[in-house]
Amino acid sequence: MIRKVFKKKQSNGKIKDFIHKYKIPHEYLAINRKAISRGVLIGLFWGFIPMPMQMLAVLSITPFIKFNVPIAISMVWLSNPITMPFMYYMEYQTGNFLLGYEGLDNIDLTLNWFSDNWNKIITPLYVGTIPYSIGVSTLIYFLINKLWIDSVRKEKILRFKRYKRI
């Protein structure tokens, strides 16, 4: 079922010409369980890390790991200007909890306040990023693998039942 959704989204001729012209490897656009789940894993991993140019980080590891690059880049977009404050605050609070820090009081959303308190913010933020970046992305990776396998099994059972009736 999941596979059929991706297979239905076939590219048009212009995209195929672009892929052929620039010799983009097929592995970077593959629609199979491993490529899709790896793409989600890598995209979410980089998406949870507070850094600029997360999409370039995804692209920088393409020579080393084969995955679906468009899926990975779209997963990075989950951390967008609307979701970033919530994600980073959650990661900051998690980092404070893991490090045993109390956190900051009297928060003022000005550049001066951030520059004065940068050293107190950055360590808990990045420590709190670790469980989300590694843990959540790995959990979603295994969940997608399981759902994909279950979907293929269901499809085979339905195909067998239809074949048996004929």
Contact 6, 30 (CB under 8 A): no
Q: Which amino acid is at 127?
A: V
Q: What is the spatial distance between Cα 126 and Cα 114, in angstroms, rounded to a whole number? A: 16
The whole-angstrom separation of Cα 20 and Cα 44 is 29
Query: How high is the pLDDT of residue 87?
Result: 92
Residue closest to 36 by CA, chosen among 165, 160, 156, 151: 151
Tens digit of pLDDT for each residue in 101-149?
A: 888 877 777 888 888 888 888 999 999 999 999 999 999 999 999 999 9
Q: How far apart are CA 136 and CA 141, in angstroms?
A: 8
Distance of alpha carbon 142 from its chain centroid, rounded? Answer: 13
The structure tokens listed for 148 are: 């994909």
Asked whether residue 71 carries a pLDDT value surpassing 80, the answer given is yes
Predicted confidence at residue 5, as pLDDT, reads 62
pLDDT band of residue 12 (cuts 50, 70, 90) is low
Higher pLDDT, 93 or 13: 93
End-to-end Cα spacing for the chain: 22
